[in-house]
Structure formats: structure tokens, C-alpha cells
Amino acid sequence: IGLIICTVVTLMRYVPQGGLYIFGGAFIAMGALMPLVEFLVHLTFDMNPHAFWSPYPLICLVLVGGLLIYLAINRNARETMERKLFI
């Protein structure tokens, strides 16, 4: 998690125009990290194997990250979202 945060901060410092790409990739990376976190929690604390929570944040974070990358690529969609959400 610390590596992802450090990468985002560094990229935002040196690539200020690519914010949507950077945060989209960060959301996807955080989502991909969730199954590993669940595995390590089960391994460390010997929890109930039926507690299966990692797909929920994985799906949500990957969808939000994909939306941010889509908005970074598609200028018309980005401008529409800026008009609807920020004005």
C-alpha cells in the first residue's frame, strides 16, 4: 500500500497532466491488492475460510479506476462529467 501511495505522489509531482491516468491506475492497483490482503489475513489469524470479502472492493476499485482511465482517454466524456459534477 505504501509503495502505491509513494508512486502516486511521485507521478503527480512529475507528471501533473496525467492525474486521471495516475489515479485510475492507483485504484486498479489497490483493487488488485485486496485478494492478497485477504489471503494474508486468513494465513496470519487463521480465520473462518467462508469469510470471502475481497471481491467486493476488487470489483468496485477496478470499475472506478477503469472509469477514470476512460475519462482520461475520452475528452467529450471528461468535459461532460466536469460540467455535470463541478459547476
pLDDT in tens, 52-69: 888 999 999 999 999 999
pLDDT in tens, 4-53: 999 999 999 999 899 999 999 999 999 999 999 988 888 888 877 777 88
pTM: 0.86
Residue 87: pLDDT band (50, 70, 90) is: low
Which own/partner contact pairs does 28-36 have at CB distance under 8 Å and 24+ positions apart? Answer: 28/61, 28/62, 28/65, 28/66, 28/69, 29/4, 29/65, 30/1, 30/4, 30/57, 30/61, 31/57, 31/58, 31/59, 31/60, 31/61, 31/62, 31/65, 32/58, 32/62, 33/1, 33/4, 34/58, 34/61
- pLDDT for residue 8: 94
- pLDDT for residue 7: 94
